[in-house]
Structures are given as C-alpha cells and as structure tokens.
Chain A
Amino acid sequence: MKKQALVILVALLIALPLFAGDFYINLSTQVLIAVVFACSLNLLVGYGGMTSLGHASYMGLASYIVAILTTRYGMGHGATAIISIVGTTASAALFGLIALRATGLSFLMITLAISQVLWGLAYRMTSVTNGDNGITGITRPMPFGVSLESASSFYWFTLIVTAASFAAMATFVLSTFGSSLRGVRDQPRRMAALGYNPWMIRWITFIYSGFWAGVAGLLYVYYHKYIHPTSLSTTNSAEGLLGVIAGGSGTLGGPVVGAALVSLLKNYASGYIERWNMLLGIVFLLIVLLMPTGIVPGIRKLVGRIRGGQK
C-alpha cells in the first residue's frame, strides 16, 4: 500500500508538466527547492539536535558565488557550480568551528549572528554584491546541451536534483554515522563514553548540511536568475526551520511535507490572502496544538491508533 502510494506520487511528480500550466510547474519547482533546503536543515535540527537560525546563509552564499562569477567574470556554469559548492561547504566548515563551541540556545544565537553578518555584508558590500539592487542577468546552465529555459525542463532538472539530494541525505541518516548522530543528539555523554567523538560527529553533519543547502542555493539562483540579500535573511532561515518543525523534525518525510506546506502558503495562498503570514501562523499554531511532533509523526500516530482500534 505504502509502496503503491509512493509509485503513484513519483509518477505524478514526473508527469506534472504534461498536464499542468507554467504557473503550477514553477510553483512546484519552488516547492522542490524548499524541500532540498528543509531536508538539509533537518540533518542539523532533527537528527543532530542543533537548531539553527542561520541556515539560509549557505543557500544565499552559494547563490551569490554563482551570480558574481557568472555575471562579473563571465565564468562557465560548470566551474562556477563547483566553486560555489566547494566555497559554501568550506564556509560551513569554518562557521561550524565557531558555532559548535556551544550547544542549545547559544548555538542557535551564534548561527543567527553569523547569518546576520553575511546578510549585512550582502547589503553593504555594494561593490561586490550590488547591495539592495541585487544581481541580475544570471543565466541557467545547459547540462549536456539541454536548455533549461522552459518551466518544464527546469522543473525536471530540479526534480532529478531533489531526488538525488533526498536519496543522499536519507542514506546519510540511515547509516551507522546517522545512528551515531542520533545517539549524540540524545545522550552525548554516553556516546563519548562509548568511544564516539560527539564534537566531530556534529561538525561533519554541519558541513554536510551546509553542502546540501549550497545545492539548494544553486537551484534557487538558477530558478530566479536573480539574487538579493533577502536570500540570506533570517526570514528565509526561519521559514526553512518552520517547514522542518511543522512537517516533523528527525523524520525523512517531515521536512518534505513541511517545506511544501510553507512554500505553498507563501507562494500560492499569498495570491489570494493579503495577510498570508497570519494564515501561516494559524496553520502552525494548529499543527503545534494538534500534532506537536509535526504532521508526519502526527499522521503516523493517528494511523497507528486507527489500526490499533480496528484490531
């Protein structure tokens, strides 16, 4: 049953451009980008117990590196994508060294502070980032000579990258390292006594999470063909975090559902309701009240209860 539902969902996702208009195709592309971003944040928040309010930094940084290198220096997409991901991952490694000096609330505050510094730089270093005007004129890559200019081709490209990202992150959390990570989240002292190095486990996860946020950043900048300092903002980080918590942190499906929900409310409902933020707040409030652990674990519990009742 579960397998059949998954097959139908995958088939629907692949076939979407065949029956949907450009508006819905683009909306779905944005949802997929949000899913990659939320899944990368979930590695930290859900599996590592490291709540970050600065994760958009890595997405924004990857976007800015691509934007600057392609528009200012005329570099090719292949090289800029590699430099962007390497640069973003290296910055995650560096910022991780700073942020992981603390845990809990202090960790959250450090990630927030770092993201504010980067956001400030993006705004103020106008000679590099073009400040509040952002950077325009970014083009989409042409992998293997295939143009990604149309809504459907870019959607399929994003779908492939999202599927690969999801598979890689799922493998990561289900591995022995993932078991260590969950152990460090729950009982760091015990894990250290068993021979695990909690700090190193957290740092590797921080870097890996930054890497995938960078991938989301590449998709983001290719999709919008424009980058602005708001991409690095706390609001963006908070929206990602909201998606992870609403969907169910520490589960594979949770961030997918949560990111889709936040993204749809932001990009779709906002077209009909002026105060979409309020709607998001109400939805979030309902989730917290009715399913405190998130939508996916909540539904799982509900299904379990119904099945238990049937028996």
Chain B
Amino acid sequence: MTTPEYALEVSNLCKSFGGLAVTQNVTLKIRPGERRLIIGPNGAGKTTLFNQITGDLMPSSGKVQLFGKDITRLRPDQRAHFGLSRTYQIITLFAQDTLEHNVALGLMGLRSARWHTIRPMSFYKDIAHESRRILGLVGLENRASLPVSDIAYGEKRRVELTMALAQKPRLLLLDEPLAGLSSSERTTVKSLIASIPRETAVVMIEHDMDTALDLAETVTLLNYGKVIVDGERDAVIADEKTREVYLGS
C-alpha cells in the first residue's frame, strides 16, 4: 500500500456563522511528518479551522482529507480512530482524576475495551503501565497518582500534550500549546514538541513566534478566515504581507 502524499488535505473549506464568513476557501496541504505553524491575528479563524478539521464544527462547504480519506462528514471520535489528535487552547483535562487516569483515558479511547461494562480500568494492567511510562517520558512519573487539580499549570499543559501523544497520532493539532507558560515551562514544552517522532505530522497555532518558529518548517498566515501567505518558514516570514498583517514592520 502506498503512503498518501498528504497527511492532511483541506480543500476550499468555507464556514459561515450567519452573515459572518469565518473560513473562506481555505486550502491547506500538510505532508506526513511536516511541522506547520498557523499564524494570524486574533479572530483570524485559526481555532475555527482546527475545529473543522477535528469535526467539532461542520464546514459549510469544502473537503477535509486525512491520509487520502475523506473525513469531512465524520464525527470527531471517528476521526480520532483515523489517527487525528488535538490539544485545546483552554486546558480540558479531568481535574478530579489522577494524571495516570487522564493518560489512561487517552489510551483506552482507541481500544474496543472502552465499551466494556464489567471490567474496571484497573483490570488493564498494560494501560496503567503504559500511562506511567509515557508520564515518565515527560518527567511526570512521580506525579502520576496526583489529581490534575493538584499540579501546576505548566504541568497540566504537559499532561494534555501527553494525552494526545499517547494515542500515537499520525496528525497532531496543537492549539496554542505555549499559552500562559513561564519562560522555563516554555522551554520544557518546546523540547517536548521537538521530540515528537517524525511519524506524526504536527500543525500548531501559536503566538509566541520566537519559540514556534524554531519548531516550524512551513508557515500559513490566516487573516479574516483566508489564507494570505503559505509556504516555507523563511519565505513566509520575509513576505511583505506577513509583516503587514501580523508581524508589523
């Protein structure tokens, strides 16, 4: 079986809320393993675009393909089973549950055992073991038994990323993964993102350009729901329109 040319192919995607067009004919092509940064001013439609790729929002028209498969009409959970994973701008973890349980939920999400109405989560020793192993990779193993509500904000960001990575996605969407982090926490999360294996293509929305540009190979600039500039990182940053719309002179 040949590997499809693109991990994600978004074609002529449009979305309107009443008279407000939030996504206008957006076309994006992300190659397997690519690192893409999506930039744009507030309200440019970056998160709305993510929500259409993940299925949280249905587009008004256009097509979304994941590794050659048309997923435009699939539910978010079905898309997850095709290798799509994401993180959120606002942390959405299970605050009362332990870090281990949070990661275990991520692992269980892709298994048929999630429907089991008799066996408890603790029955699946391999899941517990794998959760601890993954938490160990991000330096949170000693925190595994704590409830999420008891850990620091930066650690929560790491847990969220860990939950998404635990599923070994083929395409990972990161929505402002560095938002609200201190300088040292940014360094930790940045190195975590940099360590994501090449089997996973990463599309990231981020405003911290200094950090994000180090991670990106390609950049897409969005404004008013439209793709303004798209291409190699240095070319996009050097582009006149990027300075005009986003970076400033």
Contacts and interface: CB of A to CB of B under 8 A. Distances in A.
Interface residues of B, number: 35
A189 B92 contact: yes
B94 A194 contact: no
A176 to B, nearest CB: 5
A82 B92 CA distance: 43
A204 to B, nearest CB: 8
A193 B86 contact: yes
Interface string A140-181: 000000000000000000000000000000011011111110
Given A179-B105, A179-B108, A197 B117 contact: no
A179 B117 CA distance: 10
Interface string B105-119: 110111001111111
A182 B114 CA distance: 12
Contacts, number: 88
A194 B115 CA distance: 14
A271 B88 CA distance: 56
Given A179-B105, A194-B80, A189 B94 contact: no
Nearest to B80: A195
B109 A191 contact: yes
Nearest to A183: B105
B108 A192 contact: no
Nearest to B107: A194
A190 interface: yes
Nearest to B86: A193
Interface of A: 171-172, 174-180, 182-183, 186-187, 189-198
A-B residue pairs, 9 tightest by C-beta: A195-B109, A194-B109, A195-B80, A192-B76, A190-B92, A177-B117, A197-B77, A176-B116, A192-B77
Interface of B: 54-56, 75-77, 80-81, 85-86, 88, 92-96, 101, 105-106, 108-110, 113-121, 123-124, 163, 167
25 contacts: A175-B117, A175-B120, A176-B115, A177-B116, A180-B105, A180-B108, A182-B94, A187-B92, A187-B93, A190-B92, A191-B77, A191-B105, A192-B56, A192-B76, A192-B77, A193-B56, A193-B80, A193-B85, A194-B77, A194-B105, A194-B167, A195-B110, A195-B114, A197-B77, A198-B77
